[in-house]
Structure 1
């Protein structure tokens, strides 16, 4: 029975973690892959039906069997997941049991920037931390940047996302 898989190509992050480690964490905490597939089951079925119809029609007209419909749908599914993460629409797909949007997304944590936050310069971050250090511990606030979509930080994970078809 053919299958379409969602996963990541293994790439390293600073600090020793890999995209595979992060994918396992996100699946365990939020059901990122399984709940995305469940939320899009009807869409996947429609795409498979359309891909098979196109393949049959093309084979009848040209006599050539085109690319596997499963591979075509796997590519579309990969693009849909990447878009859902980049647009933030994945946050509305009922992921859980972890809280979505994530606290890091709400706080604007972004490791692409030197300060570690969206729209916060390194000098502003340094100044904020200096000012907060003068306050008693109970009165200190956390540094926050502009919010970002959940599951999108350095860009490594999104680029590593992949879907593929397994046909026996």
Structure 2
């Protein structure tokens, strides 16, 4: 486990340099393709694996700031592969590191999500909404992204523009 921590720390250091030099595009594509590693992630004790989730957080912050420019497919694959792991480790990351800025991670994650298509945003944000209702503070609060997506999706229904996303929103009224 100490080796995992050391390697993750080394990788974070390298990612910081790549982001600073604006050369992390290929790394994000490579990291997004690590589905097997992401599946093994849950088998490692949280106190060691949260280091790996910090790498995803770094990438989302940099993408959200525009420091990493990767295609939409790579951004969606990154979130599809690593977002559940980040959700699981978020509470631990916040408590274990004073250097992890919760708001910075949440803002980077929100901005990254909002760069995706409406359909991709729907998939990610509805999954987040369910998790947030159940976990609360141990899950990143990306409510701002959810609200922006909701406004975009709801307003799109009343325009003449077809985007082909097959987005469906059901509105129901509850009796008082």
Q: Same fold (TM over 0.5)?
A: no
Please state which structure has a larger fraction of its residues in helix: 2
The structure that is strand-richer by fraction is 1
TM-score range, shorter chain: under 0.3
> Larger Rg: 1 or 2?
1
Q: Which structure has more RCO (C-alpha within 8 Å, separation ≥ 6)?
A: 1
TM superposition score normalised by structure 1:
0.24
- TM-score, structure 2 as length reference: 0.23
